[in-house]
């Protein structure tokens, strides 16, 4: 999870969740731990052979109502977000989920490459493998990014920008449809 922490420590969307007060790094680690556990349980965790890149993929239709899922969500609230910020985070999540389809889809939650290993095609290769797996399963891939420079990177790999939302920062919504 350290790799994802390093990759997302300056990310505006992640910053929105973990805040800027003391203990931010601890909350960021907890966020990545939460996301890892959710994807391990209800999706997939991808890791490059040399452990230079990691992707967390969630299949929301697999996450049913369970005591375990409730415990994970409580961990997120009390260990990362805090009760004070819960309302704004819930509003954000509602806006995000409104852009997702009702049918099964692949949600690329996080994809990160260790900063010292970037620009070598590792993330591109991992993204193509994830998209190919989703294609075989007949599911589109959805994601959001708060980094404008990532939009062109995703578009170059078959994703299409379909929505933007301002939440104190700009959030870009992309999807890659199933190619028939």
- Mean pLDDT across 124-137: 95
pLDDT in tens, 52-67: 899 999 999 998 888 9
Can you give the pTM of this predicted structure? 0.92
Task: Report whether pLDDT(87) > 80.
Answer: yes
Lowest mean pLDDT among 7-16, 59-68, 167-176: 7-16
At the fourth CATH level, the homologous superfamily of domain 2-176 is Gcn5-related N-acetyltransferase (GNAT) (3.40.630.30)
**Burial (CB count within 10 angstroms: exposed 0-12, middle 13-18, buried 19+), residue 105:** buried
How large is the greatest C-alpha to C-alpha distance in the chain, in angstroms? 49
Question: What DSSP letter does each residue of 55-76 carry, written as one string?
Answer: EEEE-GGG--S-HHHHHHHHHH
Higher pLDDT, 108 or 119: 108
Q: What is the pLDDT at residue 80?
A: 94
Domain boundaries, the chain: 2-176
On whether the CB atoms of residues 127 and 111 are closer than 8 A, the answer is yes
Q: Is the pLDDT of residue 3 over 80?
A: no
Q: Which of 134, 142, 131, 135 is nearest to 174 (CA)?
A: 142
């Amino acid at each position: 999870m350290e790799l994802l922490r390093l990759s997302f420590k300056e990310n505006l969307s992640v910053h929105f969740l973990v805040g800027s007060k003391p203990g931010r790094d601890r909350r960021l680690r907890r966020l990545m731990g939460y996301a890892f556990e959710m994807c391990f349980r209800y999706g997939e965790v991808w890791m490059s052979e040399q452990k230079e890149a990691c992707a967390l993929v969630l299949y929301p239709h697999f996450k049913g109502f369970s005591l375990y899922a409730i415990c994970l969500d409580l961990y997120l609230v009390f260990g990362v977000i805090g009760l004070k910020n819960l309302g704004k985070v819930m509003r954000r999540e509602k806006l995000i989920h409104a852009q997702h389809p009702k049918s099964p889809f692949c949600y690329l939650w996080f994809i990160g490459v260790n900063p010292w290993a970037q620009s070598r095609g590792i993330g591109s290769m991992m993204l193509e493998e994830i998209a190919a797996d989703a294609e075989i399963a007949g599911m589109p891939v959805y994601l959001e990014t708060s980094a404008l420079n990532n939009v062109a990177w995703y578009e170059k790999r078959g994703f299409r920008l379909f929505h933007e939302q301002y939440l104190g920062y700009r959030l870009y919504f992309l999807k890659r449809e199933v190619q028939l």
